[in-house]
Amino acid sequence: MTNLKFINLQNQLNGRLILPEDDEYDLARKVHNGAIDKRPAAIAYCKDVDDVKTCVHFARQHDLLPAVRCGGHNAAGFGVCDGGLVIDLSQLKTIRVDAEARTVRVGGGCLLKEVDEATHQIGMAVPLGFYGGTGVGGLTLGGGWAISHDNTASPLTISWKQMWCLPMDV
């Protein structure tokens, strides 16, 4: 039977909450590394920043381990957890490119390929990674390789990241 506290959480969210009894559960708990087989108590697909705040508050209130997931590419499977709450950001896809300031602000669920697509339209690029399905979130927080970190400002945690755009021929 669904725990009452999760019914309350779903009622507070604009996005969907997936629970172990739902058909989508096995798909929703998957991350890129197929060897990771963790079973969270719930997976919240956040629709907006308010949903993220609600989830963080809920996890703290109920002493649940939170796992934030952007692209789900962390090899150790940090984007999912056993028994806790997965805060999935994959629907936070806003991207704002400022050509004059040479910056791009991206939502916490953006993938490298989506940022590339947006900046390429004005002939700019952020030196991120080579695999487009990687999440900007995990990469910016230190999971990535190469020159990305020299070109990303301190992460503002969950909601937005600020990065410098470089001309594409750099």
Ligand X SMILES: Cc1cc2nc3c(=O)[nH]c(=O)nc-3n(C[C@H](O)[C@H](O)[C@H](O)COP(=O)(O)OP(=O)(O)OC[C@H]3O[C@@H](n4cnc5c(N)ncnc54)[C@H](O)[C@@H]3O)c2cc1C
Q: Which residues bind ligand X (CB under 6 A)?
A: 31-32, 67-75, 78-79, 89, 108, 129-131, 134-135, 137-139, 141, 143-146, 148, 157-158
How many other C-beta atoms are found inside a 10 Å radius of the C-beta of residue 105? 16
Please give the single-letter amino acid code of residue 87: I
Q: Residue 86 or residue 97: which is nearer to ligand X going by CB? A: 86
**Beta carbon of residue 108, minimum distance to ligand X (angstroms, whole number):** 3
Helix axes 49-61, 4-12, angle to 10 degrees: 160
Return the SS3 of 151.
helix
Please report how close the Cβ of residue 8 comes to ligand X at its closest, in angstroms.
24
Comparison of 3 and 93: residue with beta carbon closer to ligand X: 93
CB of 89 to ligand X, least distance (A): 5
Indicate the residue among 97 and 141 with the shorter CB distance to ligand X: 141
The answer to whether the beta carbons of residues 19 and 44 sit under 8 Å apart is no
Please state the closest distance from residue 1 (CB atom) to ligand X, in A.
30
Q: Is residue 8 packed enough to be buried (19+ CB in 10 Å), middle (13-18) or exposed (0-12)?
A: exposed
